[in-house]
Amino acid sequence: MKIIDVKATQIHLGRVEKPFRDATVGLRDRVFGMVEVITDEGIAGICPREANPQVVEQVLKPRIVGENPLNYERLWRKLQPRIPAHLYDTSKIDVAIWDLIGKALQQPVWRLLGGAQPVVAVYCAGGYYADGKTIPDLQEEMREYVEMGYAAVKMKVGGAPFREDVARVKAVREAIGSDIDLMIDANHAWTATEASRFVHAVEEFQPFWFEEPVESQNVQATAEVRAATAIPIATGELLQGRHAFANLIDAQAADIIQADAYNCGGITEWRKIAAYAQAHDLRMAPHGSPLIGEHLVAAVPHGLIVESGLYRPPRAGRHWRGTDPLEPPVFQVPAVQDGKLVLSERPGLGLQIDHDRLRALQERASSPASPG
């Protein structure tokens, strides 16, 4: 079996009707993307996330065409970028290769990676800021996630004045009750002093973790926040490569490692980061889509929980059913059952694809009038 082609699809679909934001970034652009690695035996691996088509097809593809996709370590070395920014694109190819390997061997990726736990916990990441969104709106949103079956939810902090953010955390805890885990995510909005002050103010509401209180690259500041509180510190979604995570872990700066396989170097590199974390008795809670996160958490014994990101617009009404406004629903998100995801036996990543919707998007991409 040999690789004969690598394709990257990236389609810009305009902006959402009602933009929303975290503490540092506005979220308003709609993009669909995927990367495919195709073999001479007709088996294709898919990464359900966008990459730069020019980098993938002109820079990285020539390095692996003709190679056996089962030799994932050899391919990973050949894909190593000379320009650090290209690791973002290399990561997507590596994910597609693992999907391909699973399909070729007729095994799900979570089992190929270790198969430690076929049922994993999942949380809903929401609680964003939006113009006109009130605290009662936030409470209704988080209650609805619980009604959808989530036993853990995450909300944003750091994007409002100090007292307002404390009030938001208090209100959400009151809305969801004491039996639901509540994560808070600052998206690196604060200094160590500011983050420490905030976490002390909300400790009584028992956050499950405090995510990205400061810049994750600033391991000294992250370690200062960790030393200031008993609330676990989760971070790492923006870090790339195992050496950056080694620095974070060696500095005793985090309790929970959030390496994102779409960004850190793919599944191949994620495994090495996870091994280093396990050697230091730390848990893994990968950032990003459950389409890949469920496989990563299920693969290792120290996998903690899977992220599933949603955004419920203010006053969305009772007919809202949990859609992601930033991505068209081409890939079916795993169903939540009592706060858990049950891993499937489908080979590879087990992606369930709406082929009609995908075909329509691909036709749009190939049209001369397409913005993508």
Same domain, 85 and 197: no
Where does 25-108 have alpha helices with state H? 53-54, 61-64, 72-79, 87-105
Within-domain flag for 297: yes
Residue 175's pLDDT is what? 98
Within-domain flag for 152: yes
Residue 367's pLDDT is what? 67
Same domain, 288 and 159: yes
Same domain, 16 and 63: yes
Neighbours of 292 (CB within 10 A): 27
SS3 content of the chain, % helix, strand, coil (to 5): 40, 20, 40
CA distance 123 to 145: 9
Same domain, 189 and 325: yes
Residue 317's pLDDT is what? 52
The total number of structural domains in the chain stands at 2
Q: Assess contact for 49 and 261: CB atoms under 8 A.
A: no
Within-domain flag for 234: yes
CA distance 144 to 69: 43
Same domain, 72 and 216: no
Within-domain flag for 117: yes
The DSSP annotation for 302-344 comes to: TB--EEEE----TT--TT-----TTS-S-BPPPPPBTTEEEPP
Same domain, 193 and 61: no
Query: Hey, is 53 helix, strand or coil?
Result: helix
Same domain, 63 and 192: no
Owning domain of residue 187:
111-342
pLDDT tens by residue, the chain, 372 residues: 999 999 999 888 878 777 889 999 988 888 889 999 999 999 999 999 999 999 999 999 999 999 999 999 999 999 997 888 899 999 999 999 999 999 999 999 999 999 999 999 999 999 999 999 999 999 999 999 999 999 999 999 999 999 999 999 999 999 999 999 999 999 999 999 999 999 999 999 999 999 999 999 999 999 999 999 999 999 999 999 999 999 999 999 999 999 999 999 999 999 999 999 999 999 999 998 899 999 999 999 999 999 998 766 665 555 445 556 556 678 888 889 899 999 999 999 999 888 888 888 777 766 655 444
Here the CATH number for the domain that contains residue 101 is 3.30.390.10
Same domain, 159 and 284: yes
Same domain, 175 and 269: yes
Within-domain flag for 371: no
Pairing relation of β-strands 256-257 and 283-284?
Answer: parallel
Same domain, 76 and 156: no
Same domain, 93 and 171: no
